[in-house]
């Protein structure tokens, strides 16, 4: 075949942060595969605290890298902008050239997405490790020397063993040390958590000099700003399991207090008072005792389901059932909230406008993964409601994508005919029959509810899914109000099916 007129193959163009000083020398170089909610902020903090270390964040998605190199970062996190601006182009670089990042670094963090599996064996519970294995295979394929590989993604117990097998299957005799260094970040406070962590956990086996040296090197990185007594070293398996168990325990507390909120609404107790009373017991503590419409985010449900799957796989069925109940209670809480809306609005919300204030799974983040808002919206749309959704940080495109991802629209309904996305809370509430507060954004506490009352159809209802509003004050304005686990004297109905309205 003639190649006379063939065009030369175009070299792939990569996006990389330009260096402010291209001649600068660094003491050490690390990279991170994955520029998401964990990889980006974590590497930015390392760069800030370790100015002699070159930090490269690599991702195969060029649009993601473009945003990390722009003034509009791909994620919202208080304080992140300032950290990025202090380091980017100096010792922090974002690139779409994953191969070059691996070649340049001695230590590689793997922070790729490991969502719950949606197909095949373990669907709905097991972690999908496809992205992780692709990353490990690429490291093995292109590495130019021995490397330290750090598990940063949340992974099942003993994943490091599988990663080592993949890495050591190279044909060049290269050696790799695999460590576990799970993140314990809370979105909305990630920068604070990174700057002053409760603990840094490093899991590594000590079967060889290389593995011992790898642990010491990672400890050296963190010792730039973390006190030594807060850096914990364990074996690999303990570290991997600790991450799953930490999230399971936190989610368990949320589901526990939410279960009590349902009881409070039937008995006349106030869940906030119960939470305060038990939280003053030093054996219990007061963290994660705020009743709400339910937990969300990328970690809690995914990690519990992963833990459930591991227990089932190992024949620990009673243990699996125990932890699965945490997820079931969370689902119940979201459905219970939606049922309260329907029953309170005279058992029909068909063609009624409902204002949804908040779509992020919590305040101070734009993350919508497993947000309670999409599940409540799904329940309301099944009753043929019309929704007006406002969130100060979540882009319109993300809301639309989530409705498709979570199959929130009933068959035959279109997003455009059922959902509007106003640019402020007042427009969302105009002509609405009810307002549902589903994210605890501070701005919702300061809304002019007298103005909102005038804008709404009467009787006007407020359903506070985060217990952030002054419900007695709203009742005086004229609202019919409902708070999670917050009945008021004289308005308690002991009937099993009726909602408590104040």
Q: Residues with catalytic annotation?
A: 299
Q: Is 72 exposed, middle or buried (0-12, 13-18, 19+ CB in 10 A)?
A: exposed
Query: Residue holding tokens 């009937």?
Result: 495
Q: Is 11 exposed, middle or buried (0-12, 13-18, 19+ CB in 10 A)?
A: exposed
CA-wise closest residue to 96 among 201, 12, 175, 212:
12
Q: Is 487 helix (H, G, I), strand (E, B) or coil?
A: coil
Tokens representing residue 463 in the block: 């359903």
10 Å Cβ neighbour count for 13?
8
Q: What is the DSSP letter of 88?
A: B
CA-wise closest residue to 389 among 449, 344, 439:
439
Q: How far from 35 is each of 28, 38, 56, 93, 129, CA to CA, in Å?
A: 20, 7, 10, 11, 17
Contact 352, 490 (CB under 8 A): no
Q: Is 266 exposed, middle or buried (0-12, 13-18, 19+ CB in 10 A)?
A: middle
CA–CA distance, 134 with 235 (Å, rounded to integer): 25
CA–CA distance, 98 with 12 (Å, rounded to integer): 12
């Amino acid at each position: 075949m003639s190649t006379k007129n063939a065009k030369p193959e175009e070299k792939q163009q990569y996006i990389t942060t330009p260096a402010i000083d291209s001649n600068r020398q660094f003491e050490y170089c690390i990279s991170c595969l994955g520029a998401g909610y964990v990889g980006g902020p974590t590497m930015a903090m390392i760069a800030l605290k370790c100015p002699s270390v070159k930090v490269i964040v690599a991702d195969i998605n060029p649009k993601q890298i473009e945003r990390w190199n722009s003034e509009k970062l791909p994620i919202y996190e208080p304080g992140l902008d300032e950290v990025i601006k202090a380091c980017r182009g100096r010792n922090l670089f974002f690139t779409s050239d994953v191969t070059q990042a691996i070649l340049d670094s001695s230590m590689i963090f793997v922070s790729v997405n490991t969502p719950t599996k949606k197909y095949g064996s373990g669907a709905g519970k097991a972690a999908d490790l496809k992205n992780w294995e692709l990353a490990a295979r690429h490291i093995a394929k292109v590495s130019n020397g021995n490397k330290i590989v750090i598990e940063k993604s949340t992974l099942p117990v003993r994943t490091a063993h599988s990663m080592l097998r993949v890495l050591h299957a190279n044909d060049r005799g290269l050696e790799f040390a695999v460590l576990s260094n799970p993140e314990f970040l809370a979105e909305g406070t990630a920068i604070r958590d990174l700057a002053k962590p409760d603990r840094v956990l490093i899991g590594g086996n000590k079967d060889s000099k290389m593995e011992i040296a790898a642990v010491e090197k990672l400890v050296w990185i963190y010792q730039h700003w973390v006190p030594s007594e807060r850096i914990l070293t364990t074996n690999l398996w303990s570290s991997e399991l600790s991450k799953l168990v930490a999230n399971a325990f936190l989610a368990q507390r949320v589901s526990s207090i939410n279960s009590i909120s349902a009881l409070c609404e039937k008995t006349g107790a106030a869940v906030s008072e119960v939470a305060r009373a038990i939280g003053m017991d030093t054996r219990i503590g007061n963290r994660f005792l705020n009743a709400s419409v339910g937990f969300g985010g990328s970690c809690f449900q995914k990690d519990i389901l992963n833990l459930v799957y591991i227990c089932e796989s190992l024949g620990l069925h009673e243990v699996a059932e125990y932890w699965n109940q945490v997820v079931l209670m969370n689902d119940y809480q979201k459905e219970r909230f939606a049922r309260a809306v329907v029953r309170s609005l005279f058992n029909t919300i068909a063609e009624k406008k409902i204002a949804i204030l908040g779509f992020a799974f919590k305040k101070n983040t734009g993350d919508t993964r497993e947000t309670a808002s999409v599940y409540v919206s799904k329940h309301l749309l099944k009753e043929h409601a019309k929704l007006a959704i406002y969130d100060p940080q979540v882009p319109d495109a993300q809301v639309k994508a989530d409705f498709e991802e979570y199959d929130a629209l009933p068959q035959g309904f279109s997003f455009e005919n059922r959902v509007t996305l106003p640019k402020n809370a007042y427009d969302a509430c105009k002509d609405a029959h009810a307002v549902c507060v589903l994210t605890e954004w501070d701005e919702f506490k300061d809304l002019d509810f007298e103005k909102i009352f005038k804008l709404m159809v009467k009787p006007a209802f407020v359903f506070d899914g985060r217990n952030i509003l002054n419900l007695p004050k709203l009742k005086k304005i004229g609202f019919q109000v409902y708070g999670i686990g917050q009945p008021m004297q004289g308005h308690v109905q002991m009937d099993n099916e009726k909602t408590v309205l104040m």
